[in-house]
Amino acid sequence: MDDYRAIENLMYRYAFTLDAGDLKGVAELFRHGEIVAPAADSVVKGYDAVLEMYNNSTRLFDCGTPRTRHIISNVLIEAEGTTAKAQAYFTVVQAAPGLPLQTIISGHYKDSFEKHEGQWRFARREMYPELFGDLSKHLLFDAASIQ
């Protein structure tokens, strides 16, 4: 797989892993990286901190998932040597019990990647939520703190 596709695959893997409710898998993607949420003035680094963040913020239903689909689009990747930067839009839809299928949030990511021993991995993800719907069935905290 070429570098562009390997990086793009990581971006999509995050979405599939989170939508599956595999919070340990999400944390594993950031074992050597960090997630930054400027709106919440938050930086979490490494597996344990990322897992704690997702455990404390993501509502999982009886099915074991957040009942979401994270849609990643408009991916732009610039790779040079063993580092790369990417940007992409995200849109999250949710079908929570008692609510219709709806868009709950949209924004963009700014990602940095590093190639280690021939494999690409996340170095940093900055999350910029911009458009908000009803997050009450998705987040375990008051979404006003990120709006």
User: What is the CATH architecture of 3-146?
Assistant: Roll (3.10)
Residues of the chain with confidence (pLDDT) below 50: none
Q: What is the model's pTM?
A: 0.95
| pLDDT number for residue 40 | 83
Please provide the distance, in angstroms rounded to a whole number, between the alpha carbons at the two ends of the chain.
38
> Which two structure tokens, joined as six digits, stand for 63?
């099915």
Q: What is the pLDDT of residues 88-126, one digit of tens each?
A: 999 999 999 999 999 999 999 999 999 999 999 999 999
| pLDDT number for residue 39 | 84
The CA distance from 129 to 22, in Å, is: 22
The CA distance from 3 to 63, in Å, is: 35
Residue carrying structure tokens 């074992």: 31
